[in-house]
């Protein structure tokens, strides 16, 4: 797993910064509907590598990333007039404007004497005839996909003003039925675009509800390794996994379990976990300090308090509770004080997740036999907005820039609900199925990896 | 149903072997390895029925499942009736240990259903304890919506999957 972390040995060169122009440079509005995605031309990167050339592959990954956001459309290369042959010459902008390419991304791959790839790009505004940004990356040849994602992130960031989310990974649950009809739930990873899938846990026990640490070096998940739901912390670098609770106090929390423990989410500083633990026949939110191993109880209501999620400033925690009868959303201070009810609509509210931008909370709402994915302002102001409605919805997961939500979508199948991971943007547009073979659920999006 | 219980028991045994803590005593189900009955005072013996004291006998005489209303963990009168028969049986075979698994239908989110399943298992356990079954003989687990006994997406199946299922652990070990 450690190749995730140490990949880019250097980010060599920043080529250009924009000057002052009367005309506004190309800007993609991220908040309105995306009925009119911005056309961008991405010719194959110039590559001197002959048969090992990655130029077309890299351009293809960048185009797929940008199109997946719903904000861009990649101009068909068969329409191209100019054949870009020199990375350092200004393009013939008229050739790109007549095919309606508002933006032009050109790039070049060169092989260094140490075998590493030097990948550079320039993003041009074809109307202003101005370079908007340009960068070079140096990396090992096998990491070409990550370079492509980094370029896509840079383009997205320059044109939308928001940070990108393409150089990220997704951990999720792969669901299947074993040879004797037994349900199997395994943790799996993939790149954000579905590439490089791999399994993390084996088929002998269930693994559910994973979440990333802020450093992307650890995940928490719920494992049935010990026969009942137990919170685990998995260090991706070392492959070491430890239970929060185990009989005889053998777990990280050093206390004997009283029942099950459920999904854990990291505090923004990565030092604490918020987790619901079954105590005296009810579930309560606890704070576990990963350094001191101190466990602190935050809620004491006899009803079930589950699904805690930190605000990005670490000051507040949202959770769901059946204390008001049906399940509703509540927000409290990170020390357990000042509990406020968040949701007041009809139906059952579960699975709240605080946006990484802090302004919104995503949730699942169940009403009249339908499930909805919604968002509501985290300060309780304003109406909830429904982004998707269908037969079944669970486990919203935010993109690191807070603009896209992954979720478990269930549809009626022959042998019960069939689960897939889908994404939708904050405007409720661009509903997309993630490219995963077989049934899948419980997505968690990694932070941007530095 | 029985083959599913076998898988549960087999899985628990495998997992326990992987864990760092000593494996709890687990049973293979009644069909793979018929537990030895060493007790002598068998209460009522049906000539062709299941061997008294076995899980099959428990299922036949008491019933292993109690059902719950949608989104609820309170016992119904039918559920209390079943649990009274379970308590009678457990008080007669006083060395058996049980695992009560709480289950939920698929019409709820995953973590919510794990909590709901735990609540259902606890409600069944608490009622058995109130009828004189020692809490030290009872383990509970929640499988949430993960282990449906009925697999269709239909109200009929969902109501069957809202249950607490009592399984005999360790057979009758004397």
Taking contacts as CB-CB distances below 8 angstroms, the residues of chain B near A222 are 114
Does the pLDDT of residue B38 top 60, yes or no? Answer: no
List Cβ neighbours of A373 (8 Å cut-off, separation of 6 or more).
A362, A363, A364, A386, A387, A388, A389, A393, A396, A405, A407, A424
Taking contacts as CB-CB distances below 8 angstroms, the residues of chain A near B21 are 226, 246-248, 250
> For A354-395, what is each residue's pLDDT tens digit?
999 999 999 999 999 999 999 999 998 889 999 999 999 999
CA dist B117 and B123 (Å) reads 10
Question: Average pLDDT of A346-361?
Answer: 96
> For A177-205, what is each residue's pLDDT tens digit?
988 888 999 999 999 999 999 999 989 99
Best residue of A174, A228, A230 to probe chain B, by most B CBs closer than 10 Å: A228
Question: Average pLDDT of A13-22?
Answer: 38
Contact state of B18 with A304 under an 8 Å Cβ cutoff: no
Question: Average pLDDT of A12-24?
Answer: 42
Contact state of A350 with B141 under an 8 Å Cβ cutoff: no
What residue ranges in A198-281 does DSSP mark as E strands?
198-199, 207-212, 218-223, 230-235, 241-243, 261-266, 272-279
Q: What residue ranges of chain A are covered by domains with CATH 3.40.50.10070? A: 2-21+28-160
Using DSSP's 3-state secondary structure scheme, residue A98 falls into coil
> For A240-257, what is each residue's pLDDT tens digit?
999 999 888 889 998 887
Q: Is B24 on the interface with A (CB under 8 A)?
A: yes
Higher pLDDT, B173 or A448: A448
Nearest CB partner across the interface for B111, out of A209, A224, A369:
A209
CA dist A448 and A251 (Å) reads 30
Whole-number average pLDDT of chain A: 91
Q: Is B109 on the interface with A (CB under 8 A)?
A: yes
Question: Average pLDDT of A39-52?
Answer: 92
**C-alpha angle B30-B31-B35 in degrees, rounded to nearest 5:** 40
Do A126 and A103 meet the contact criterion of CB atoms below 8 Å apart?
yes
What integer pLDDT is reported at residue A111 of this predicted model?
93
Delineate the domains of chain B, giving CATH numbers in brackets. 63-169 (3.30.1330.60)
Q: Shortest Cα distance from A209 to chain B (angstroms)?
A: 8
Sorting pLDDT into bands at 50, 70 and 90, what band is A32? low
Q: Compute how many other C-beta atoms are within 10 angstroms of the C-beta atom of residue B1.
A: 10
Sorting pLDDT into bands at 50, 70 and 90, what band is A398? very high
List Cβ neighbours of A26 (8 Å cut-off, separation of 6 or more).
A38, A102, A103, A125, A127, A128, A132, A159
Higher pLDDT, A354 or A4: A354
List Cβ neighbours of B38 (8 Å cut-off, separation of 6 or more).
B172, B174
Query: What is the value of ipTM here, to two decimals?
Result: 0.92
Contact state of B15 with A180 under an 8 Å Cβ cutoff: no
Fold of A169-445: Neuraminidase (2.120.10)
Q: Is B4 on the interface with A (CB under 8 A)?
A: yes
Question: Average pLDDT of A88-100?
Answer: 97
Q: What residue ranges of chain A are covered by domains with CATH 2.120.10.30? A: 169-445
Does the pLDDT of residue B66 top 60, yes or no? Answer: yes
Sorting pLDDT into bands at 50, 70 and 90, what band is A113? very high
Q: Shortest Cα distance from B174 to chain A (angstroms)?
A: 25
Cα→Cα distances A294→A187, A194, A273, A290, B11, Å = 28, 38, 11, 8, 32
Count H helices and E strands in chain B, helices first: 5, 4
What integer pLDDT is reported at residue A450 of this predicted model?
65
Higher pLDDT, B80 or A325: B80
Sorting pLDDT into bands at 50, 70 and 90, what band is A29? confident
Question: Average pLDDT of A263-283?
Answer: 94
Contact state of A364 with B21 under an 8 Å Cβ cutoff: no
What integer pLDDT is reported at residue B21 of this predicted model?
36
Higher pLDDT, A196 or A23: A196
What residue ranges in A236-321 does DSSP mark as E strands?
241-243, 261-266, 272-279, 282-289, 295-297, 305-310, 316-321
Nearest to B108 by CA among A229, A346, A354, A369: A369
Q: Is B36 on the interface with A (CB under 8 A)?
A: no
> For A202-225, what is each residue's pLDDT tens digit?
899 999 999 999 999 999 999 999
What integer pLDDT is reported at residue B169 of this predicted model?
92
Nearest to B8 by CA among A178, A40, A15: A178
Sorting pLDDT into bands at 50, 70 and 90, what band is B47? low
Token output for A200: 């993390």
Best residue of B13, B111, B138 to probe chain A, by most A CBs closer than 10 Å: B111
Query: The whole model's pTM is what?
Result: 0.88
Taking contacts as CB-CB distances below 8 angstroms, the residues of chain B near A326 are 71
Nearest CB partner across the interface for B18, out of A225, A326, A327:
A225
Nearest to A339 by CA among A279, A284, A289, A418: A284
For the domain made up of A2-21+28-160, the CATH class stated in words is: alpha beta
């Amino acid at each position: 797993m450690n190749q995730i972390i140490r990949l880019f040995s250097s980010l060599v060169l920043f080529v250009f910064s924009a000057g002052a122009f009367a005309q506004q440079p190309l800007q993609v509005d991220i908040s309105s509907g995306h009925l009119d995605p911005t056309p961008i031309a991405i010719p194959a990167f110039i590559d001197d590598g002959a048969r090992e050339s990655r130029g077309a592959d890299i351009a293809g990954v960048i185009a797929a990333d940008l199109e997946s956001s719903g904000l861009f459309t990649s101009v068909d290369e068969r329409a191209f007039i100019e054949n870009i042959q020199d990375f350092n010459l200004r393009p013939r902008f008229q050739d790109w404007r007549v095919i309606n390419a508002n933006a032009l991304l050109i790039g070049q791959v060169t092989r260094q004497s140490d075998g590493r790839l030097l990948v550079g790009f320039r993003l041009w505004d074809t109307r202003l005839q101005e370079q908007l940004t340009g960068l070079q990356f140096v990396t090992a040849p096998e990491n070409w996909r990550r370079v492509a994602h980094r370029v896509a992130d840079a383009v997205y960031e320059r044109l939308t003003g928001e940070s990108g989310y393409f150089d990220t990974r997704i951990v999720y649950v792969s669901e299947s039925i074993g040879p004797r009809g037994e349900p199997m739930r395994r943790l799996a990873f993939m790149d954000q675009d579905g590439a490089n899938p791999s399994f993390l846990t084996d088929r002998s026990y269930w693994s559910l509800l994973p979440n990333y640490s802020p450093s992307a070096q650890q995940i928490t998940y719920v494992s049935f390794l010990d026969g009942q739901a137990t919170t685990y912390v998995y260090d991706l670098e070392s492959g070491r996994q430890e239970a929060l609770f185990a009989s005889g106090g053998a777990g990280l929390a050093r206390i004997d379990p009283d029942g099950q423990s459920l999904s854990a989410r990291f505090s923004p500083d990565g030092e604490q976990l918020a987790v619901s633990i079954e105590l005296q026949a009810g579930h309560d939110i606890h704070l576990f300090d990963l350094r001191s191993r101190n466990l602190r109880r935050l809620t004491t209501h006899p009803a079930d308090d589950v699904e805690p999620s930190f605000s990005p400033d670490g000051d507040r925690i949202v959770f769901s509770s059946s204390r008001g009868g049906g399940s509703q959303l509540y927000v409290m201070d990170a020390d357990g004080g000042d509990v406020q009810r968040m949701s007041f609509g009809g139906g059952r509210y579960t699975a709240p997740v605080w946006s990484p931008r802090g302004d919104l909370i995503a949730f699942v709402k169940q009403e009249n036999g339908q499930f909805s994915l919604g968002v509501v302002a985290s300060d309780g102001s304003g109406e909830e907005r429904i982004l998707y409605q269908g037969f079944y919805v669970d486990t919203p997961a935010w993109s690191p820039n807070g603009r896209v939500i992954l979720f478990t979508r269930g549809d009626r199948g022959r042998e019960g609900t069939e689960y897939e991971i889908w994404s939708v943007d904050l405007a409720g547009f661009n509903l997309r199925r993630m490219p995963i073979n077989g049934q899948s659920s419980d997505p968690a999006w990694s932070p941007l990896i530095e | 149903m029985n083959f599913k219980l076998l898988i549960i028991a087999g899985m628990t045994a495998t997992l326990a072997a992987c864990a760092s803590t000593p494996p709890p005593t687990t049973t293979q189900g009644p069909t793979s390895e018929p537990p030895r009955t060493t007790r002598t005072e068998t209460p009522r013996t049906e000539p062709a029925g299941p061997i008294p004291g076995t899980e099959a006998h428990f299922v036949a005489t008491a019933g292993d499942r109690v059902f719950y209303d949608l989104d609820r963990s309170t016992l119904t009168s039918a559920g209390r009736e079943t649990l009274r028969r379970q308590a009678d049986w457990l008080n007669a075979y006083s060395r058996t240990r049980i695992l009560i698994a709480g289950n939920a239908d698929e019409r709820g989110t995953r973590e919510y259903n794990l909590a709901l399943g735990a609540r259902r298992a606890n409600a069944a356990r608490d009622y058995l304890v109130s009828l004189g079954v020692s809490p030290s003989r009872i383990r509970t687990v929640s499988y949430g919506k993960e282990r449906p006994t009925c697999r269709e997406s239909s109200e009929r199946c969902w109501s069957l999957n809202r249950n607490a299922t009592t399984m005999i652990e360790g057979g009758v070990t004397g």
